[in-house]
Amino acid sequence: MPIRINLVMSDTTLLGRDCTPAGVPGHGTIPAEIARAWVRATVAARVVSIDDLVTVRRLFTSPDERDLVAMESTKRVFTGLLRHMLELRDQTCRTPWCGAPLRHGDHVRRSEDGGVTSLWNGRGACIRCNQAREAPGWTAHTSSGIDETHEIVLTTPTGHDYASQAPPLVPGRPVRAPGEAVRSRSGPQDARAG
């Protein structure tokens, strides 16, 4: 049975040029030397075995090295690699006060309102939060640019705005406190949840 471990590290750490810790999303940091040893061991196992036991996949980040870059799909549902990237980026439900395990890939801007199925227009959600956002009065929009930390502003039926930033892919980066209220930055990207 295959096991998937998502090890995230910079190219300089991989090549031994610095000792920045690597990260395992959802679990924490790994010292650079141990991460390099894991990579060496998996590459050696790949040479010995013909089986497809090890997959190395490059993920590219924004210029500040904090966020994964966008990946678009023509599908309406978040599946395959796009779903995997959404899970890696968000780690738990993106409703600011929730934090439950991810169960759905949700469109920030609804597909019927012109929202595309992309990493940038997606968010991980638990079943309850995804269904609650369908009720009248809930809106959501992405409030950051494509090269910035992925941030969603969720507006409740009472008119209160709450921001949700994707957690740092590499632990130790700053992030807004969960559920912290923000001023409304509503704009053309506003849409009911989807």
Calculate what percentage of the chain has a pLDDT beyond 90.
28
| Domain membership flag for residue 65 | no
pTM value surpassing 0.85: no
pLDDT digits (tens, 9 = 90+) for 112-129: 777 888 888 999 999 999
- Claim to verify: residue 15 and residue 83 sit in the same structural domain: no
Domain span including residue 36? 1-58
Same domain, 77 and 53: no
Residue of 175, 135, 134, 170 whose CA lies nearest to 152? 175
pLDDT of residue 12: 83
77 and 157 share a domain? yes
- The reply to whether 52 and 127 lie within a common domain is no
Q: Are residues 177 and 81 in the same domain?
A: yes
Residues 90 and 185 in one domain: yes
The answer to whether position 67 is within a domain reads no
Clarify whether residues 184 and 91 are in a common domain. yes
166 within domain boundaries:
yes
My answer on whether 106 and 158 are in the same domain is: yes
Instruction: Name the domain count of the chain.
Output: 2
pLDDT in tens, 43-93: 666 554 444 455 555 566 677 777 776 544 556 788 888 899 999 999 999
Does a structural domain hold residue 116? yes
Residues 33 and 99 in one domain: no
The residue whose two tokens read 């494509």 is 146
Is the CB of residue 25 less than 8 Å from the CB of residue 91?
Answer: yes
Does one domain contain both 178 and 121? yes
Where is pLDDT greater, at 146 or 160?
A: 160
Q: Among candidates 180, 128, 117, which has minimal Cα distance to 154?
A: 180
Q: What is the pLDDT of residue 174?
A: 61
Answer yes or no: do 101 and 185 share one domain.
yes
Is residue 63 a part of any domain in this protein? no
Same domain, 103 and 181: yes
